């Protein structure tokens, strides 16, 4: 494992605050997904600070709940009174709910994040810096029948190895008892079987170096046994039927979940190879890499043979059996939808209620897939018993979260396809839907679309929507990435240079028809089968004021947009039986789009002998119309407010006398 420490970089962090080095090494750990994933792991540093009375108090600065090590800042560390934590460790018993209340009470800053559940454990270790990760290599070795023995052989006397117990107070108690009389200066770390590894030192760099050294030793052992290279691989060529089955599975899973879900189909060679392993039904259902992951992924995978939607009920029954076997009267059963699945000979499938959680599930499943194959090569993948997995998944702290009222964004779990997404109205539509929780497939012929968004909610693809093959490919990519299509915002178009009909060239005329009319049909045609499986499906065409009020010199554009309006009316009639709503927006004079340069605006205003601002407001309501205004109406049309409306044509123009 590569040691990322850079002394010059470290010194820059050290200048920022007293927590600078702690922030720096935490981020280094967070950068490596083989150490921690999505909020996993914990780090801390012990120090002191003065209170309002001028008294100096011992403090543990520990990672706060909800913070990710990769991006953590000084404000992500919760300052907790160290003596209070040490006193808690001496208690004979403490429920995790009571522990979390005590941790909040021990905060020196009530606005700070809630301290990590491992705060007491960090307090007990008498070295200044403590690093805790869930390193894949270490946990994978521990998930074999003789994993403890293997780890003792790897680390010798440098590392204390402890059996698995629940995180939180129980783990702190275990470490407290196991380290009585221990010379901490002779230890480099602690391995918690099936859980993770801890390093510590009074020097920040040394603690970080120890973590990298210990994990590297585990990786070297796996490499020496030939395990690291044992990853099954197999190519697979997807069919149109596969994508339909993906969309059908998402629809069925959403119905079972009771709310929209997103789905990702991973048909990479490594995933397909894994799904084709002979005993995959067995090894994929034995348990997670570490029980902490089951909070995100549930403890075992679903197995699909041929038609996932038809086979989803099998997982529901298996999960209910698992719950009934381990639950107490006070447990509240979670939903019965798998979070990851093996689709035999076709790869892996991931499900989640939103894009962020979908990425978490996908990353955890990918690391688990690799670790399982390492364990199988060493001996046998041997996860914890299901009772331990259940205890973590149904941990009282997690159950408490179920009691809290949580309001999801309006379009969370919904998938929106937007064409012409790189600028103007299309870009505004992407941003409006993302702000309301949607996942968006953003298409545009301009390559700049690929770099506009870093959000996991957006998949941007450079696509010429006049090319049927490119449209088919892009939509298939979107379906594999998000699971389907619920909403189509058909926006791509252009306003050709002004030409009177008598001077119109064939190329200009045909290009306008191809982009402003025919391309919309192609996108709708390819989306139709997915919209029929969509969740509250809706189509919004972006038309033009020119449909109702054309002008001279705009024949190629006006005729194409008039055809688009007619296409939308026919689509409303044809798709209504599938509960797909089809409506049209007619914007006018949207001045923050590409065709309205400052030069053009000045020319048009001068032509009418008015100012640019007056020209922009030359509508009945005297409003400046923006792309965001059109996007807001597109969002409304796709939402519940228009649930009983189809075939409508609505202007977004501030009121145009000729249209009215």
Positions annotated as catalytic residues are 557, 561
Strands 262-266 and 487-490: unpaired
Return the C-alpha torsion angle 48, 51, 54, 57, nearest 10: -30
Tokens of 89: 């460790």
For residues 50 and 8, the answer to whether their CB atoms sit within 8 Å is no
The residues facing 201 across adjacent strands are 129
For residues 463 and 444, the answer to whether their CB atoms sit within 8 Å is yes
Residue partners of 530: CB distance under 8 A and separation at least 6: 243, 244, 247, 475, 479, 484, 485
For residues 165 and 66, the answer to whether their CB atoms sit within 8 Å is no
Instruction: Tell me the C-alpha distance between 83 and 75, whole Å.
Output: 22
Instruction: Tell me the C-alpha distance between 230 and 375, whole Å.
Output: 10
Instruction: Tell me the C-alpha distance between 313 and 203, whole Å.
Output: 54
Tokens of 612: 């640019």
Instruction: Tell me the C-alpha distance between 227 and 374, whole Å.
Output: 5
Please choose, from the candidates 468, 374, 416, the residue with its C-alpha nearest in 3D space to the C-alpha of residue 138: 374
Give burial (CB, 10 Å; 0-12/13-18/19+) of 111. exposed
Sequential DSSP letters for 51-86: -TTS-EEEEEEEEBTT--TTT--GGGEEEEEHHHHH
Q: How far is CA 32 from the centre of its chain?
A: 18
Residue partners of 123: CB distance under 8 A and separation at least 6: 60, 80, 82, 85, 86, 89
Sequential DSSP letters for 9-21: HHHHHHHH-TTHH
H or E segment and range at residue 104: helix 96-105
Q: Is the dihedral of CA 269, 271, 275, 280 positive or negative?
A: positive
**Nearest 5°: phi and psi at 442?**
-105, 115
Sequential DSSP letters for 155-192: HGGGEEEE----TTHHHHHHHHHHTTT--GGG--EEEE
Integer CA distances (angstroms), 219 to 241, 271, 381, in order = 41, 22, 17
Task: Note the maximum CA span of the chain.
Answer: 98
The H helix count followed by the E strand count for the chain is 25, 18
Cβ count near 317 (within 10 Å): 10
Instruction: Tell me the C-alpha distance between 385 and 295, whole Å.
Output: 16
For residues 431 and 457, the answer to whether their CB atoms sit within 8 Å is no
């Amino acid at each position: 494992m590569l040691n990322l420490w850079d002394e010059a970089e470290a010194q820059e962090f050290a200048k920022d605050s007293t927590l600078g080095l702690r922030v720096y090494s935490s981020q280094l750990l967070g950068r490596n997904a083989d150490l921690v994933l999505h909020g996993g792991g914990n780090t801390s540093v012990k120090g002191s600070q003065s209170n309002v009375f001028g008294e100096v108090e011992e403090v543990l600065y520990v990672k706060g709940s909800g913070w990710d090590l990769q991006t953590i800042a000084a404000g992500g560390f919760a300052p907790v009174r160290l003596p209070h934590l040490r006193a808690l460790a001496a208690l004979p018993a403490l429920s995790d709910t009571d522990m979390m209340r005590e941790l909040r009470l021990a905060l020196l800053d009530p606005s700070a994040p809630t301290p990590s559940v491992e705060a007491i454990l960090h307090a007990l270790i008498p070295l200044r810096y403590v690093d805790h990760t869930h390193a894949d290599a270490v946990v994978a070795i521990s998930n074999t029948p003789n994993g403890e023995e293997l780890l003792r052989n790897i680390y010798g006397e440098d590392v204390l190895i402890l059996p698995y117990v629940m995180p939180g107070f129980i783990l702190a108690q275990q470490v407290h008892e196991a380290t009585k009389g221990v010379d901490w200066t002779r230890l480099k770390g602690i391995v918690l079987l099936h859980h993770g590894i801890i390093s510590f030192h009074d020097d920040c760099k040394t603690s970080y170096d120890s973590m990298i050294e210990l994990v590297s030793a585990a990786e070297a052992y796996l490499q020496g046994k030939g395990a690291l290279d044992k990853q099954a691989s197999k190519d697979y060529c997807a069919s149109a039927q596969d994508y339909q089955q993906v969309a059908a599975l998402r629809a069925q899973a959403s119905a079972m979940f009771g709310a929209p879900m997103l789905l990702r189909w991973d048909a990479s060679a490594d995933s397909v190879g894994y799904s084709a392993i002979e005993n995959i039904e067995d090894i994929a259902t034995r348990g997670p890499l570490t029980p902490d992951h089951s909070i995100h992924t549930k403890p075992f995978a679903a197995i699909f043979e041929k038609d996932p939607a038809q086979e989803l009920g099998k997982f529901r029954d298996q999960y209910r059996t698992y719950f009934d076997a381990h639950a107490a009267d006070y447990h509240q059963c979670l939903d019965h939808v798998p979070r990851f699945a093996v689709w035999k000979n076709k790869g892996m499938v991931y499900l989640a209620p939103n894009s962020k959680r979908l990425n978490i599930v996908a990353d955890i499943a990918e690391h688990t897939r690799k670790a399982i194959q390492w364990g199988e090569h060493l001996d046998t993948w041997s996860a914890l018993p299901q009772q331990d997995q259940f205890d973590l998944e149904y941990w009282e702290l997690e159950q408490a979260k179920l009691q809290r009222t949580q309001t999801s964004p309006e379009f969370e779990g919904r998938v929106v396809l937007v064409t012409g997404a790189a600028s103007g109205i299309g870009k505004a539509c992407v941003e409006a839907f993302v702000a309301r929780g949607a996942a968006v497939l953003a298409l545009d012929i301009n390559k700049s679309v690929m770099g506009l968004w870093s959000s996991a909610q957006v998949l941007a693809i450079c696509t010429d929507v006049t090319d049927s093959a490119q449209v088919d490919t892009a939509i298939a990519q979107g379906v594999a990435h998000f699971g389907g299509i619920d909403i189509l915002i058909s926006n791509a178009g252009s306003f050709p240079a002004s030409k009177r009909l008598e001077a119109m060239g064939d190329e200009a005329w045909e290009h306008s028809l191809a982009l402003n009319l025919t391309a919309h049909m192609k996108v709708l045609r390819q989306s139709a089968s997915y919209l029929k499986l969509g969740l509250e499906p809706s189509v919004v065409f972006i038309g033009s004021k020119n449909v109702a009020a054309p002008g001279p010199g705009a024949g190629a554009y006006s005729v194409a947009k008039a055809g688009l309006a007619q296409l939308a009316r026919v689509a409303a009639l044809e798709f209504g039986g599938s509960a797909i709503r089809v409506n049209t927006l007619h914007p006018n004079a949207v001045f923050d789009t590409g065709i309205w340069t400052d030069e053009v605006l000045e020319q048009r205003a001068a032509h009418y002998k008015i100012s640019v601002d007056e020209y922009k407001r030359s509508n009945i309501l005297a409003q400046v119309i923006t792309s965001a205004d059109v996007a807001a109406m597109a969002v409304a049309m796709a939402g519940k407010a228009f649930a009983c409306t189809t075939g409508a044509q609505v202007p977004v123009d501030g009121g145009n006398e000729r249209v009215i």
